Structure 1
Amino acid sequence: MFERFTKEARFAVIGAQEEARLLRHSRIGAEHLLAAVAGRPQSLGGAALFRLGITPEACREAIRSTGSLDEDDAEALRSLGIDLSAVRARAERAFGPGALDRGASGTSGAGGADETASRWWPFRSPKGSRPHVPFAAEAKRALEQSLREALARKENWIGTEHIVLGVLTLDHPSTVKVLRALGTAPEALRADLLAHLRPAA
């Protein structure tokens, strides 16, 4: 399937891993795909996000503020009676925005912040290499849906516009929360994007 992706779409898929790394998340979610597409404003999908005032920075802030990362972990904590959103809110009141998303700022120990960050990651990688961040199930489904969106439009490529449509069709709760935090709704983004695409063949 990846051979169908346009250059911009490939950059967006690779960028989603970078977005997850920037936020120190252990999985790539559909919301990271949106943040990466927002970083390609010259593409059709990125332009739609840009028109609605959605930038990569705004996406990252919305992802942090909604606590939409690691939904499997959040669900496991909820089953134990722990509300991750409430914990995040208390931590941010005490330590500032994004307190749970970044490594400790102290530099105690030989490794300092890098050592702290490497302890945070829930998987190991060879020294000096960047850790691999796997795609969460909903991100994989969004990419599969992007192919369906392209086929439905009788287009033999997958562009950033199809990635955005795939993410929106999935309608994952974390993505909906992020979009609402950004001041829009999935339906509004979809309508704007479709209005700027050529009619489906």
Structure 2
Amino acid sequence: MFNRFTKDARFAVVEAQEEARTLGHARIGTEHLLLAIAAHAAAPAGTTLARFGVTAEGCRAAFDQDPASAPASDSHFDEDDAEALRAFGIDLDAVRDQAERAFGPGALDAPPPAPEPEGRRLFGLGRKPAGIVGHIPFAPRAKRALEGSLREARTLKSDHIGLEHVLLGVLGCDDETTADYFRRLGVEPAALRAGVLADLGQAA
């Protein structure tokens, strides 16, 4: 069915929330989506990012340069976020239920565990958890990126929304925060977009 995220894309959206939680950020932004995509290094979008020198480690280092990042004072989930994600086939209530079945009640509300040794954590970098609990809302720019991923999939006549479409959605955001993040990564969004489209052409 059209307008449905692939498994990798759904996981990336959930991982973006977990990254924001670990970093102690108040909202999920385009930068967290980019970090989650970069972590999928074997996926087509991840390989394109790696070719341009964008890695999960580099994305994390770019966060460290941002003095404006601050812990959330209220991390309650925004129902508007849930509704927007349901339109893309991502049911965060179902994700929560699945996590609680696997790890016990309140699994997503508990503070993150202490970091494991380097190489064992998802992104390979040790960091003291910031203690953000509960759901973290999406920043408007992240919502625009997810909406943009649908437009990108339609334009490319795709019957699904994959990581590559989410990446194109992020690249389509022209707000100053997203642009500044790409500058800190040393990447020109227009060039990266051309690279993504070229790689998609090669894969077709």
What TM-score results when the alignment is normalised by the length of structure 2?
0.67
Task: Summarize deviations over 1:162-188 as a string: whole Å, max 9, x none.
Answer: 001001112221121111111111011
1:27 Cα offset (Å): 0.4
Q: Distance in 1 between matches of 2:2 and 2:144?
A: 14
Task: Summarize deviations over 1:44-86 as a string: whole Å, max 9, x none.
Answer: 21111111121112112112314464xxxxxxxxxxxxxxxxx
- Partner residue, 1:41: 41
Structure 1: give runs of 5+ residues left out of the alignment: 70-100, 102-119
Does structure 1 retain, via aligned residues, the 8 Å contact 2:153–2:160? yes
- Partner residue, 2:27: 27
Consecutive aligned runs of 4 or more in structure 1 exceeding 4 Å deviation: 124-127
Residue 128 in structure 1 maps to residue 110 in structure 2 = yes
Q: Which moved more, 1:169-178 or 1:1-10?
A: 1-10
Closer, same or farther in 2 for the Cα pair 1:41/1:62, shift >3 Å?
Answer: same
1:9 alignment partner, SS class: helix
What is the count of residue pairs matched by the alignment? 152
Larger Rg, first or second structure (1 or 2): 1
Task: Summarize deviations over 1:58-116 as a string: whole Å, max 9, x none.
Answer: 112112314464xxxxxxxxxxxxxxxxxxxxxxxxxxxxxxx6xxxxxxxxxxxxxxx
User: For the aligned residues, what is the CA RMSD?
Assistant: 2.6
Matched letter for residue 32 of structure 2: H
Q: Distance in 1 between matches of 2:187 and 2:142?
A: 20
| 1:177 corresponds to which of 167, 173, 180 | 180
- Partner residue, 2:158: 155
Task: Summarize deviations over 1:124-169 as a string: whole Å, max 9, x none.
Answer: 6777364211111110110000000000111010011000100111
Structure 2: give runs of 5+ residues left out of the alignment: 77-105, 112-132
Closer, same or farther in 2 for the Cα pair 1:53/1:121, shift >3 Å?
Answer: same
Closer, same or farther in 2 for the Cα pair 1:134/1:3, shift >3 Å?
Answer: same
The structure where helix makes up a greater share of residues is 1
1:123 Cα offset (Å): 2.1
